[in-house]
Structure 1
């Protein structure tokens, strides 16, 4: 999806932004009328959650494509090790999630654990996932389970992964086993996490040529469509989606990875949003160097992204499956912008979008704890920070985001008079028509800190 050292977003090139602006010069703005700066409270039944993934957090990981990629010192900044050892610490980590007041706990059920060898299902791995899901529910949370978060068994890698048609059937066989086992558990199912980033990662690490990349894209589309039908047959009434990575200037390309071809096989729009771009904020160029903590957030971009996807699929609710902010090894940002500011500012713009008709279903913060960001432990997204490289105890230490998120959940959002810390930038690529010509909605008062 994006731009962390593992979750990479392409650079939002100045030329692409300039082209977008030029294209609207002849357009008639549909947002010429000033809109009242109103916000809406989150609706009854709204789902607050946290997101993680198995490989990134569990540790003690069996042979897989990503254990192999992470073992190559020329390809990654840090070796994988045992990550934050969620595999052995999940009961206490689930207590941390429960303490936030969340309704949903998202993670992945890893195929590499379930079936480390073709045809052999590991009873210890199955017992682990059984207890994990049992404890999620016992603590009053709903499981959101991802069937594929970019990781597959080593034996699948050996047979050619997604360039071999056999992998589609192998994947569906495993997925049906998992869905059968956890049906009737009120699970929200995600088939593939961020197909665009999945393909990009394989292109970079496996690697793939152009033809193989297109073969993988076609395989993911076919497999999602088949999985959607299978899940509805096995677990009737369950909601199914595939979360799309928002990619700003290149979002059309990102959506083409899977989303555009499966809109009839989605029960909600799953969106991952981390940052955008405007003519006052082109810091996304730092994704070239992997310094994602140097990218300045664009909270108002989420407002435009939500409205855009809702316009495209007005019959579906919207779920923000991932959203968060990286820091550099847990250090404060030099500009003073905190995790609290980031959470509250984005909530404000989500509430603005809801006031203008976006049907929000849920929000997950990425992530509960720091974890392995696909090649590095430097970018830290956790509400609870963990110093994997220097702290053998892997102590979970709360950031300022913990009380902030807990308060947002308890109060059903930010109050109607909230003033965002970060002001909107001029001419956002998320909606150039509305933002380049002075019709962007503004917060209700002067900004507390005009960053």
Structure 2
């Protein structure tokens, strides 16, 4: 007999996530836009119009609501709000406030990310997160945004994946992306071309993410502390945290010591800072298995992600257990999904990931919600439009949205609060 008992709290947030630069289009004042357009750059193609969600966000919100979901995570683009240092745009702040209002009108809880990787070009020009005043500048921006929203948003994510640079530097296992540089010295270094484009000096001007320098990581952590304080001062009842990449680290043969070391360096320092937050955002896609000398690469199968990552949906349950156990605070799954052209496989991945999440909750893990990555097939950073993580396909010419069966399936899980997880039909 099928178990139909709901395993998710009544207040559980069911939704999907996007980031501004990846879906809005024409985020021309950002560091990533600048790097997209330098010769011999590292991006497969420019973001361009992306999904045109800057103008079509009502359609996106309607898709979520009509499917039965209850939350939408989106980001505010710092480069739009503060296009020049110290100059804030009331019109852009109003735009994002209208997005939050549209969520409320359709019964969705807005979960707002204050920084999802991209930063203003002027901030990158002066060293991005490596500059000493970075935490103060970020706090000032956060105060403007939160004050403008005036209580319309009560869920805030300060920074998206501040530990991803450390993870990439240590393992490279989550990297995927763009064109390889040509052999030879005839092409200009993209970093130098970027510095010139943003009006900075080579060696100082830099794309913000990934952050790998010790000073940059320390500044990111201080920026989070300051942003958290600012949100709480302006909105005492708000819930604030940051989202961390918490992949499931496992030890292969002889890899126990390496795995423990990677946890100490790549996850635990950031989780330690989360102990003073209202929640910790967990972003999980796969597992990383370590041997004695580093990560082991899994054999490719028909289920391997388009990114090259191993298909392992059970990573979600392990990641939330780790985060909750270490921090003692509730977990919000801020990203989880699969890059695949096979939507039936996406449905299977969602079902298996959510089953592992349900089991973690049954074991006593406090989980507040599940936000799928991502709503739309979007521009995926260095890989351009080649990776399809979305619950909704987007026509590259007309921007027409075409919901996939996976959106319907996740909506059915949401409306039944998980009681349908034992069934296979979308």
What's the TM-score, normalizing by structure 2? 0.79
Q: 2:36 aligns with which of 57, 70, 82?
A: 70
| Deviation for aligned residue 1:297 | 1.9
Q: Does 1:341 align with 2:308?
A: no
Q: CA distance change for structure 1 residues 283 and 345 in 2, over 3 Å: closer, same or farther?
A: farther
| Cα 1:284/1:39, change in 2 over 3 Å | farther
| C-alpha deviation, 1:321, in angstroms | 0.7
1:233 aligns with 2:233: yes
Match of 1:326? 339
Change (3 A) 1:202 1:282: closer
> What is the match of residue 8 of structure 1?
none
Pick from 138, 144, 147: which aligns with 1:180? 147
User: How big is the shift at 1:263?
Assistant: 2.7
- The corresponding residue for 1:86 is 53
Deviation at 1:339, TM superposition (A): 1.3
SS class of match (2:381): coil
Question: Aligned match of 2:327 in 308, 313, 318?
Answer: 313
- For residue 213 of structure 2, what is the aligned residue in structure 1? 213
Q: Is the 1:283–1:294 Cα contact (8 Å) retained in structure 2?
A: no
8 Å contact kept, 2:165–2:212: no
Residue 76 of structure 1, CA deviation: 1.1
| Length-normalised TM-score, structure 1 | 0.75
Give the match for residue 274 of structure 2: 263
Q: The residue matched to 2:385 in structure 1 has which SS?
A: coil
Distance of 2:90 and 2:242 partners within structure 1:
28
> Any stretches of 5+ residues in structure 2 without a counterpart?
176-190, 192-205, 250-261
1:50 equivalent among 7, 13, 16? 16
Is residue 402 of structure 1 aligned with residue 410 of structure 2?
no
Contact 2:31 2:207 in 1 (8 A): no
Residue 311 of structure 2 is aligned to residue 303 of structure 1: no
CA distance in 2, matches of 1:171, 1:188: 18
For 2:19 and 2:106, locate their aligned partners in 1 and report how far apart those are by CA, in whole Å.
Answer: 19
Q: What is the 5 A alignment of 1:282-301?
A: 292-301=306-315
Cα distance, 1:106 vs. partner? 0.7
8 Å CA contact retained: 1:247, 1:254? no
Residues 301 and 40 of structure 1: CA distance in aligned 2, closer, same or farther (over 3 Å): farther
CA distance in structure 2 between the aligned counterparts of 1:405 and 1:182, rounded to whole angstroms: 29
1:228-269: CA deviation from partner (whole Å, max 9, x where unpaired): 111111011100101110133444433256333x13321112
1:361 aligns with 2:392: no
Instruction: Give distance in 1, aligned partners of 2:310 and 2:169.
Output: 27
Deviation at 1:125, TM superposition (A): 1.6
Partner in structure 1 of residue 82 of structure 2? 115
Q: Are the equivalent residues in 2 in contact too, given 1:63–1:154 (CA < 8 A)?
A: yes
1:12 alignment counterpart: none
Q: Deviations over 1:154-203 (max 9, x none)?
A: 11111111111122211111110001111311420111100012567899
Q: Give the aligned partner of residue 439 of structure 1.
A: none
When residues 291 and 340 of structure 1 are mapped into structure 2, their CA distance, relative to the original with a 3 A threshold, is closer
1:257/1:370 Cα in 2 relative to 1: closer, same or farther (>3 Å)? Answer: farther
Where in structure 1 are there 5+ consecutive unaligned residues?
1-36, 421-451
Residues 86 and 93, structure 1, Cα contact 8 Å, conserved in 2: yes
Match of 2:88, SS state, is: coil
C-alpha separation between the residues in 2 aligned to 1:41 and 1:234?
34
Larger RCO (CA under 8 A, 6+ residues apart): 1
The alignment of Structure 1 onto Structure 2 pairs a total of residues equal to 368
- SS of 1:242's equivalent? strand
Query: Does 2:390 align with 1:382?
Result: yes
